[in-house]
Structure 1
Amino acid sequence: MRRAVKVEIYSDIACPWCYVGKTRFERALAAFPKGSSVEVVYRPFQLDPSAPYEARPHREVLAAKYGPQAAAMDQRITALGAEEGIDFDFDTVLENNSLLAHRLLRFTLDEYGPAAQTRLKGRLMTAHFGEGMDIGDHEHLTDAAVTVGLDRDAVAAFLSSDELHDEVLDEIDEARQLGITAVPTFVFEGQWAVQGGQETSTFLRVLEQVAKDTAAAADSADAEAGACADGVCEVPATDGGAAGS
């Protein structure tokens, strides 16, 4: 089956709107007739690359950053998440630098493929926002990876190394060079970008339109390729006989 659409999703594990966007997008994907042929890849992005490598209570971090309005911000996203079936429990959320988790997601993509990466992304978000998971803790990350089918020893060895550290930082830098300054950002076929946790209906319309445009472009390319095969280009003959010299 021809791949219908490739979607690259730039997001941060520590971003509640990225969790909402993922949930809505996956609901749209389930409703999309060609959903099984859509390739989804998660790309790294850090809202706070300077965050310390230590677990800190979310409430304290947000209050220090936004002051009195922090509580209202949490209440808003909690209510919105409940409408989407997401259980945000900000009393248990621990903030930490997300780079290690992004490295694990890239490792999963390289070694296990996009589907496994998507499963792990979902598991990390569920555990981070609802179960008090520390996304900077090796043991917690290993347990999450094993839950979605990764090999425990391979994951533990990877997390104990510096593998993919520079590559992930380069990806984050490339995202900013592409003009991505906020997440989630959904890039369809490397051409069309949709920013934010849009409604499910919006994602579905985008999938339908991009799939239509992609199929039309592929059909056009196939028609052009069909005129030339095995080193010979066919030229329509005229009544005068064969073309050529």
Structure 2
Amino acid sequence: MPAPGPRTAADIMRVEFVFDFPCVWSYFTFHRLQHSLARYRAAGGTAELIFRPFQLAPEASGTGEPKRDVLRRSFGDDTDDAIAGIESLAEADGLQFRHTNAVWSNTFDAHRLTHLAQAQGHGERIVERLFRAHHTDELNIADPAVLRRLAEATGVRWQIVRDATVRAELRSVQREGLRSIPALRFDGGEWVIGAQSEMALHAALTGITGSAA
């Protein structure tokens, strides 16, 4: 990953992460990034993780539909093999994916909650919980009752975030030319597109400061 010039350990690194919750590669990258950030911070580095929204299926409904049906439209007869493959990859990363009752739904309100949580200093906690809610707990993350429950569980004070605020964030990502996710940018450097290994993420973090090992 390309990195900007030298920095000191006292500097705050900005890590931008563009993602959507149903995207398995976004979840893998976020999970690995959490491990890398934990190591970086434990070694004295300071980093701010900034979440930026992307919607894979802005036309999806709030009530949702079985995720298996959505995957079947993409993979056809290979759907079961595709699911088994991604569940195996998840297990190798220490994650658990379930698809029996998984719900594919609109993620706009989940990104709205992320915006709210980030403003209150709980961004990383709510994003982890929303990923897990979708991929492991088979919850509908477009359901207002589910979102309120997750907000309460992660210490987020529920407030109204205007639609226009979230739409402006989505347009901002589009203006930067991002058409696929996940995408990462370290301290305003070049965007890095696609799933990243924990090793690559750790190298990007430590390479920028040269001090947090």
TM-score (norm 2): 0.88
5 Å-filtered alignment, 1:141-160, equals 141-151=147-157, 155=158, 158=160
2:75 to 66, 69, 77: 66
2:164 to 151, 154, 166: 166
Match of 1:124 in 2: 130
**What amino acid maps onto 2:190 in structure 1?**
W
Distance 1:49 1:9 in 2: 19
The gaps in structure 2 that reach 5 residues or longer are 1-8
Match of 1:18 in 2: 26
Q: CA deviation at 1:69?
A: 2.5
CA contact (8 A) 1:123 1:144 kept: yes
**What amino acid maps onto 1:3 in structure 2?**
D
Q: CA deviation at 1:91?
A: 1.2
**What amino acid maps onto 2:164 in structure 1?**
D
Question: Which ranges of 4 or more aligned residues in structure 1 deviate by more than 6 Å?
Answer: none
CA contact (8 A) 2:75 2:82 kept: no
Root mean square deviation of aligned Cα: 2.0
Q: What SS does structure 1 have at the residue aligned with 2:101?
A: coil
Match of 2:53 in 1: 44
CA deviations on 1:115-164 (whole Å, 9 max, x unpaired) are x011000001111111121111011011111111123xxx2x52xxxx33
Instruction: Pick closer, same or farther for the CA change 1:35–1:203 going to 2, 3 Å.
Output: farther
Q: CA deviation at 1:178?
A: 0.8
Distance 2:203 2:178 in 1: 22
Distance 2:164 2:130 in 1: 22
Q: CA deviation at 1:58?
A: 0.6
Distance 1:30 1:105 in 2: 20
**What amino acid maps onto 2:83 in structure 1?**
D
How many residue pairs were aligned? 203
2:208 to 207, 210, 219: 210
Structure with bigger gyration radius = 1
Distance 1:150 1:16 in 2: 25
Distance 1:7 1:192 in 2: 11
Residues 1:105 and 2:114 are matched in the alignment: yes
Q: CA deviation at 1:28?
A: 1.5
2:196 to 198, 205, 228: 198
The gaps in structure 1 that reach 5 residues or longer are 214-245
Distance 1:180 1:167 in 2: 19
Q: CA deviation at 1:109?
A: 1.6
Match of 2:10 in 1: 2
Instruction: Pick closer, same or farther for the CA change 1:20–1:150 going to 2, 3 Å.
Output: same
Q: What SS does structure 2 have at the residue aligned with 1:186?
A: strand
CA contact (8 A) 2:17 2:182 kept: yes
CA contact (8 A) 2:10 2:45 kept: no
Q: Which has the higher helix share?
A: 1
Distance 2:127 2:201 in 1: 19
Q: CA deviation at 1:35?
A: 6.1
TM-score (norm 1): 0.77
Distance 1:43 1:106 in 2: 9
Q: CA deviation at 1:36?
A: 4.9
Match of 1:232 in 2: none
